Amino acid sequence: MAHSSNSSFFSLEEISKPKSSFGMGGLVRATPQIHNELDNTELNIAVTGKAGSGKSTFINAMRGLQSGDEGAAQTGTTETTMEPTRYKHPNLPNVCFWDLPGIGTTRFPAKNYLKKMQFNKYDFFLIISDCRFTENDVKLAKECKRLEKNFYFIRSKVDNDLYPKRKEGRKLNEEKELKKIRNYCERNLQEAGIQSPRVFLISNFDLNLYDFNLLNKALEVDLPNIKRSIYILALPNINLEIIERKREELRNEIWIMAALSGAMGAVPVAGLSLACDIGIVSGGIIYFRKCLGLDDASLQRLADTVEIPLEDLKAMVKTPLVGEITPDIIMRLRWGLASATISAVELVFNNIPIIGSIFGAGSSYLMTYKLLSCALDDLTENAKRVMNVAFGTDLNDQSRVVYELM
């Protein structure tokens, strides 16, 4: 990786962070608890609405699946969901989409619906409609409000509304037509007593169009920190903005992994911290790959969705970090030279208990933090190249080589 001539391998900010934290011991003690909270926090998203509104199709699209894929939600024009059904995210199993039965059917009349669906266990509700919102949708929203649950109205199948107008042969003012649909939905909801309703126009078959990004921004504002991060990482890679948001969220997690490495490095046993660094870095890289959609399963799902040969997507991946992550791969990286220097000094100080512990914690933190940061940047740029081929996005030559093997 290239660095400016007036900077060292580690910046002053990176050096001062572990110096203050590990000196007091606070970060070392707090890190396992924070890491455990991240691993065990669930995000439960309820998707509801009347039968046939596109709930199941939306859930599949959010997970990068098609209706015929293994684990996909069953779709159809009639009521196919007989009870609340949980669908886990393929890469992040702590993210669960719940396909709720359509409200107002003979099996689930509105007066019994709220109790049977156990509303309290969901973090927020997406109320989906493919036409005007019904009285049952409004009842659902009012109950969400009573329980202080966030809810968002999604007007699905917008592409179906615009298709006949395009076929008429006249020039279509799409922005004007979309505004009509949104105003109609908002007016109906306001007349039913929902003040300031938030309506998002969505196409389940092309989430990159219409209001999908606006919906994500609304959720980012409303969700608490950890759950907001989990939601962002679970989003399908459909545009550059989402990939960049994932990079930001994953970068926020790097310090936790580095702190774990630092806690290991505080134990003055020769060679122990280096071994822990490699294990933590390897695990971090594998986690990054899944979140960025660069693992084999994610690439296959994307290839099936966009109907492009898998080989064409894999050809865009120009990094050794998508294969097996071995100690040799990590140690052969060019920036491994700097970490090797730290490890050599670390061995000298290991026999001095107090100094060895302080230096071991700091050097392990710095080495792991830098390795994971560079790996994240490299994987992010590769994810952008894959998306460029899949969706034809112009990356404006944003790709850059983050590091090379020696």
- Which helix (H) or strand (E) segment holds residue 297: the answer is helix 296-306
H-type helices in 41-149, by residue range? Answer: 55-62, 110-116, 135-146
Give the separation between CA 86 and CA 93, rounded to whole angstroms: 11
Burial of 293 (0-12, 13-18, 19+ CB in 10 A): buried
Q: What is the pLDDT of residue 359?
A: 39
- Which helix (H) or strand (E) segment holds residue 49: the answer is strand 43-49
Tens digits of per-residue pLDDT, 135-155?
Answer: 778 877 887 887 788 899 999
Q: What is the pLDDT of residue 268?
A: 45
Lowest mean pLDDT among 1-15, 251-265, 298-312, 353-367: 1-15
Q: Which residues pair with 88 in a beta bridge?
A: 96
Q: Which residues pair with 124 in a beta bridge?
A: 45, 150
What DSSP character marks residue 133? P
Task: Tell me the HSE value of 391 on the side-chain side, using a 13 A CA sphere.
Answer: 18
User: Do the strands 43-49 and 124-129 form a parallel or antiparallel pair, or are they unpaired?
Assistant: parallel
Average pLDDT, the chain: 75
Give the separation between CA 116 and CA 119, rounded to whole angstroms: 8
All domains of the chain in start order, with CATH: 12-38+238-391 (no CATH), 41-233 (3.40.50.300)
Tens digits of per-residue pLDDT, 312-329?
Answer: 999 999 988 888 887 777
Higher-pLDDT residue of 177 and 269 is: 177
H-type helices in 93-239, by residue range? Answer: 110-116, 135-146, 158-167, 174-191, 212-222, 225-234
DSSP 360-381: HHHHHHHHHHHHHHHHHHHHHH
SS3 125: strand
CB 393 within 8 A of CB 240: yes
DSSP 155-176: E--HHHHHHHHHHT-SPP-HHH
Percent of the chain with pLDDT strictly greater than 70:
68
pLDDT at 351 over 60: no
Tens digits of per-residue pLDDT, 21-79?
Answer: 444 344 445 455 555 566 678 999 999 887 778 888 899 889 988 887 888 888 765 55
User: Do the strands 124-129 and 85-88 form a parallel or antiparallel pair, or are they unpaired?
Assistant: unpaired
Angstrom distances, CA of residue 190 to CA of 114, 193, 374: 22, 5, 50
Give the separation between CA 348 and CA 207, rounded to whole angstroms: 56
Higher-pLDDT residue of 365 and 58 is: 58
SS3 33: helix
Angstrom distances, CA of residue 121 to CA of 84, 96, 115: 12, 11, 12
